Amino acid sequence: MEFDSINFSYNKYSQLLKENTGRIPKGKISTIIGPNGCGKSTLLSLLSRSNQAESGQIIMNGKDIFAYKPKEFAKKVAMVYQQNEGPADLTVEQLISFGRLPYKKAFKNKSNEDEEAVDWAISLTNLDDKRTHKLEQLSGGERQRVWIAMSLAQKSEMLFLDEPTTFLDIYYQIELLELVRDLNMQHHLTIVMVLHDINQALRYSDQLIVMKAGEIVAAGAPAEIVTEDMIKDIYGVDVAMQKHIQTGLYLVPLGI
C-alpha cells in the first residue's frame, strides 16, 4: 500500500492531516506513533477506508482503495478499532463468524470454508476454551482477542489495529503484541497499528511512521530513525536510549 499527498480535515477550519506521503511494506509490521492529537488514528482511518481523504491518493496493489467494492476490500483489509461494541449475549464463536460476511452469498448457508476459517481464527488467538462463552463473560484482553479473531476469519492480507493495547494491563498488552508478531512472522500478515507506548513500538515494529501536528516527520526502521533528539522534538520529553541483548533498543524517560 502506498499513499501520496493525502490531506484530511473534519471541518473547513482545522486541517488534521497535511500532505502525507508514505508506504506500508508488504509482510511487515508498521506502527504509527506520535503525541495525542497528531493524527495517528485519522491516518489509519484513511488507509482502512473508514474515512476518505480530501485530496491525494491511496493505492493498494496498484489500485485506488475506493475502486474496490466493499466486500472485495474487506478481503484485503481487516480493521480492529480501539473500542469495539457487540451484543453482550453473543458467544465468542458467533461474533467471530461475522468475519465471514465478505464471503457470504445471498440465501447460502455457512460453508465448510467458513467453519474452517472460524476454527483457524479461534485456534490462533487461543480462544478454544472460550468458544461458547458470551462477550459479557470475558476480560478486556480476551475481548480484544475475539475482535482480532473476527478480523482473522476474514482471511484478509492486511490487519489494521487502532491502539489495541489501550485499557489493557501489562500482561494482556504483551500477550496481544506477541500475538501480533506471531501473526506477522508465521502467517505473513501485513500489520499496521497505532501505539502510544514507544518502547512497545520499538520492540514489535519493522517500520515506524512518526507523526507530529498532522504530518509524517520520519519513517523507517526503528534503529535507523529514532534518536534522543527526535523524541525530544516530537514529545517534548528528555530520554536516554539504551540497548538490551534481549529486547533491543529502548528508551528511558529522564524528564520534561
Q: Three-state secondary structure along the chain?
A: CEEEEEEEEEECCEEEEEEEEEECCCCCEEEEECCCCCCHHHHHHHHCCCCCCCEEEEEECCEEHHHCCHHHHHCCEEEECCCCCCCCCCEHHHHHHHHHHHHCCCCCCCCHHHHHHHHHHHHHCCCHHHCCCEHHHCCHHHHHHHHHHHHHHCCCCEEEEECCCCCCCHHHHHHHHHHHHHHHHHHCCEEEEECCCHHHHHHHCCEEEEEECCEEEEEECHHHHCCHHHHHHHHCCEEEEEEECCCEEEEEEEEC
pLDDT exceeds 80 at position 12 = no
pLDDT given at position 106: 54
pTM score > 0.95 for this model? no
pLDDT exceeds 70 at position 108 = no
Nearest partner of 157 among 97, 101, 75, judged by Cα = 75
- The cell numbers describing 207, all together, are 517500520
Over residues 20-26, the mean pLDDT reads 96
pLDDT given at position 83: 76
Judge if 20 and 126 occupy the same domain.
Answer: no
Nearest partner of 214 among 54, 38, 35, judged by Cα = 38
Nearest partner of 79 among 166, 173, 162, 182, judged by Cα = 162
pLDDT given at position 91: 93
pLDDT given at position 246: 82
Judge if 162 and 49 occupy the same domain.
Answer: yes
Neighbouring CB atoms inside 10 A of 236's CB total 9
Judge if 160 and 224 occupy the same domain.
Answer: yes
pLDDT band at 123 (very low <50, low <70, confident <90, very high): very high
Q: Are 244 and 250 in contact (CB under 8 A)?
A: yes
Q: How far apart are CA 91 and CA 200, in angstroms?
A: 31
Judge if 175 and 250 occupy the same domain.
Answer: yes
- Region of poorest pLDDT, from 75-84, 148-157, 189-198: 75-84
The residues near 48 (Cβ < 8 Å, ≥ 6 apart) are: 77, 79, 160
pLDDT given at position 11: 76
Range of the domain at 244: 2-76+156-255
Over residues 64-74, the mean pLDDT reads 95
Judge if 71 and 194 occupy the same domain.
Answer: yes
Judge if 163 and 239 occupy the same domain.
Answer: yes
Q: What is the mean pLDDT of the chain?
A: 92
Judge if 41 and 94 occupy the same domain.
Answer: no
Judge if 176 and 71 occupy the same domain.
Answer: yes
pLDDT given at position 16: 87
Neighbouring CB atoms inside 10 A of 53's CB total 22
Nearest partner of 239 among 182, 180, 198, judged by Cα = 198
CATH of the domain at 199: 3.40.50.300
Q: What's the pLDDT tens digit per position in 80-91?
A: 987 777 787 889
Q: How many domains does the chain have?
A: 2
pLDDT band at 15 (very low <50, low <70, confident <90, very high): confident
